[in-house]
């Protein structure tokens, strides 16, 4: 199991949270492949942690559907079904739209600046055909909006849905087009204009279009 040793380590997390965060990211981006066997000893060594938080993290990852644990036998990364994305994106689009509505009165200039900077980097990644980084930057863009919504329940639900969607995008090499960058520009302008109705529609369409593009490829 080739596990990176030069990975960035999250800060301000306890051992279990740190292990969960890193393992989730490796499963999402394909560092840990579907069907791959996971051993707590190897993971503990790679993350410089004891085996207890690794086991706790794996149990949490099983709850959210990223690993399958068979007591006394093996723990493996779950398989991916491409058709699942068509079930994941509609509720994700609705919740993202709601998050944008809630963020509208709260978002500040610093957060607007982060959205603009993320979209500049997204444009460059798309131009360079760097699909891997484009997906990560897109996630960063929407994370700013979720942060501004200031609703922990929406944050939790979106985090789970979005992690599965991102895994689908990475695994099946689904790439973002320049349409995403244009829509992000429109979302940023709607935030500046305090256009709540427009924000909801723009954000929802930003995700729904992904479904339409996926259907067109199938």
Residue 214 is predicted with a pLDDT of 61
Angle formed by the axes of helices 196-217 and 85-103, nearest 10°:
160
- Over residues 72-78, the mean pLDDT reads 92
The percentage of the chain sitting over the pLDDT mark of 70, rounded to a whole number, equals 90
For residue 19, pLDDT over 60 is answered with yes
At residue 70, the 3 state secondary structure works out as strand
Q: Which of 37, 54, 77 is the last residue of a domain?
A: 77
Token pair of 37, please?
């066997």
pLDDT digits (tens, 9 = 90+) for 132-184: 899 889 999 999 999 999 999 999 999 999 899 889 888 887 788 899 999 99
Helix, strand, coil % (nearest 5) of the chain?
70, 5, 25
Residue 10 is predicted with a pLDDT of 46
Q: Which of 58, 77, 96 is the last residue of a domain?
A: 77
CATH code for the domain in which residue 164 is found? 1.20.120.530
Q: Higher confidence at residue 14 or residue 116?
A: 116
Q: Which of 27, 62, 77 is the last residue of a domain?
A: 77
Angle formed by the axes of helices 109-127 and 178-193, nearest 10°:
170
Q: How confident is the model at residue 11 (pLDDT cuts 50, 70, 90)?
A: very low
Owning domain of residue 157: 82-217
Sign of CA dihedral 79, 84, 89, 95: negative
């Amino acid at each position: 199991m080739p596990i990176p040793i030069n990975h960035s380590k999250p800060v301000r997390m306890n051992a279990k949270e740190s292990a969960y965060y890193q393992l989730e990211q490796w499963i999402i981006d394909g560092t840990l492949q579907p069907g791959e066997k996971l051993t707590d000893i190897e993971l503990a060594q790679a993350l410089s942690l004891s085996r207890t938080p690794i086991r706790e993290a794996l149990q949490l990852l099983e709850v959210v559907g990223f690993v399958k644990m068979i007591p006394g036998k093996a723990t493996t990364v779950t398989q991916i079904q491409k058709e699942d994305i068509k079930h994941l994106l509609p509720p994700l689009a609705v919740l993202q739209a709601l998050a944008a509505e809630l963020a509208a009165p709260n978002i500040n200039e610093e957060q607007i600046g982060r959205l603009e900077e993320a979209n500049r980097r997204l444009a460059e990644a798309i131009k360079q055909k760097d699909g891997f980084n484009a997906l990560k930057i897109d996630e960063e863009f929407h994370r700013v909006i979720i942060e501004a919504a200031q609703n922990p329940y929406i944050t939790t639900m979106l985090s789970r849905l979005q992690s599965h969607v991102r895994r689908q995008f990475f695994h099946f090499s689904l790439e973002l087009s320049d349409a995403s960058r244009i829509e992000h520009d429109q979302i940023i302008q709607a935030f500046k204009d305090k256009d709540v109705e427009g924000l909801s529609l723009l954000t929802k369409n930003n995700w729904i279009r992904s479904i339409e593009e996926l259907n067109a490829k199938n």
